[in-house]
Amino acid sequence: MPRTRRRRFLEQVAAGAALSAAAPALTSAAPLAQGTGRAPGAGPYDYLGRSPGYKDWAVVPRGLTVKSIETFQRDSLALVRITASDGKVGWGQIAPYEADISAMVLHRLIARRVVGKDIADIDAINDDIIDAQLKFPWSFLCRALAGVDTALWDLYGQITGKPVAVLLGGKVGPLPAYGSSMRRDITPADEATRLARLRDTFGCKAFKIRLGTPGGRNKDAAPGRSEAIITAVRKAVGPDIELHADANSCYTPDVAIAMGRRLEDARFAAFEEPCPYWELEWTREVTQALTAIDVQGGEQDNDLAQFRRMIAMRAVDIVQPDICYVGGLTRAWRVAKMAEAAGLVTKPHAANVSLVTVFTMHLLAALPKAGEVEFSIEDDAAITKQARAMFDPMLEMKDGRAVMPDGPGWGVRIKPEWVAGSNRQVTPA
CATH code of the domain containing 78 = 3.30.390.10
In this structure, is residue 40 part of a structural domain? no
Nearest to 419 by CA among 158, 105, 149, 79: 79
Whether 93 shows a pLDDT value over 90: the answer reads yes
Instruction: Work out how many domains the chain is built from and give that number.
Output: 2
CB atoms within 10 A of CB 335: 28
On whether both 231 and 119 belong to a single domain, the answer is no
In this structure, is residue 390 part of a structural domain? yes
Band of pLDDT at residue 127, cut at 50, 70 and 90: very high
Whether 24 shows a pLDDT value over 50: the answer reads no
On whether both 402 and 420 belong to a single domain, the answer is no
Q: Are 157 and 127 in contact (CB under 8 A)?
A: no
The pLDDT > 70 percentage for the chain reads: 91
Note down the domain range covering 367. Answer: 166-413
On whether both 289 and 195 belong to a single domain, the answer is yes
Band of pLDDT at residue 32, cut at 50, 70 and 90: low
On whether both 180 and 264 belong to a single domain, the answer is yes
Whole-number pLDDT of residue 36: 65
Whether 389 shows a pLDDT value over 60: the answer reads yes
Give the lowest-confidence range in 17-21, 157-161, 305-309: 17-21
pLDDT in tens, 150-209: 999 999 999 999 999 999 999 999 999 999 999 999 999 999 999 999 999 999 999 999
Average pLDDT over residues 51-57: 93
Whole-number pLDDT of residue 237: 98
Is pLDDT larger for residue 2 or for residue 6?
2
Whether 7 shows a pLDDT value over 60: the answer reads no
On whether both 399 and 424 belong to a single domain, the answer is no
The pLDDT > 90 percentage for the chain reads: 88
In this structure, is residue 6 part of a structural domain? no
CA dist., res. 103 & res. 426, Å (int)? 10
**Domain CATH for 323:** 3.20.20.120
Band of pLDDT at residue 361, cut at 50, 70 and 90: very high
In this structure, is residue 11 part of a structural domain? no
On whether both 75 and 217 belong to a single domain, the answer is no
In this structure, is residue 51 part of a structural domain? no
Whole-number pLDDT of residue 29: 44
On whether both 351 and 387 belong to a single domain, the answer is yes
CA dist., res. 380 & res. 401, Å (int)? 21
Count of residues making up the chain:
429
pLDDT in tens, 243-296: 999 999 999 999 999 999 999 999 999 999 999 999 999 999 999 999 999 999
On whether both 102 and 220 belong to a single domain, the answer is no
In this structure, is residue 351 part of a structural domain? yes
Whole-number pLDDT of residue 18: 37
Whole-number pLDDT of residue 299: 98
Whole-number pLDDT of residue 221: 98
Whether 37 shows a pLDDT value over 90: the answer reads no
On whether both 216 and 136 belong to a single domain, the answer is no
Whether 16 shows a pLDDT value over 50: the answer reads no
On whether both 218 and 117 belong to a single domain, the answer is no
CA dist., res. 366 & res. 3, Å (int)? 20
On whether both 175 and 152 belong to a single domain, the answer is no
CA dist., res. 297 & res. 93, Å (int)? 23
Average pLDDT over residues 346-355: 97
Whole-number pLDDT of residue 417: 98
On whether both 242 and 284 belong to a single domain, the answer is yes
In this structure, is residue 423 part of a structural domain? yes
Average pLDDT over residues 401-414: 97
Band of pLDDT at residue 370, cut at 50, 70 and 90: confident
Whether 1 shows a pLDDT value over 60: the answer reads no
In this structure, is residue 39 part of a structural domain? no
**Model's pTM, two decimal places?**
0.92
Q: Mean pLDDT in the chain?
A: 93
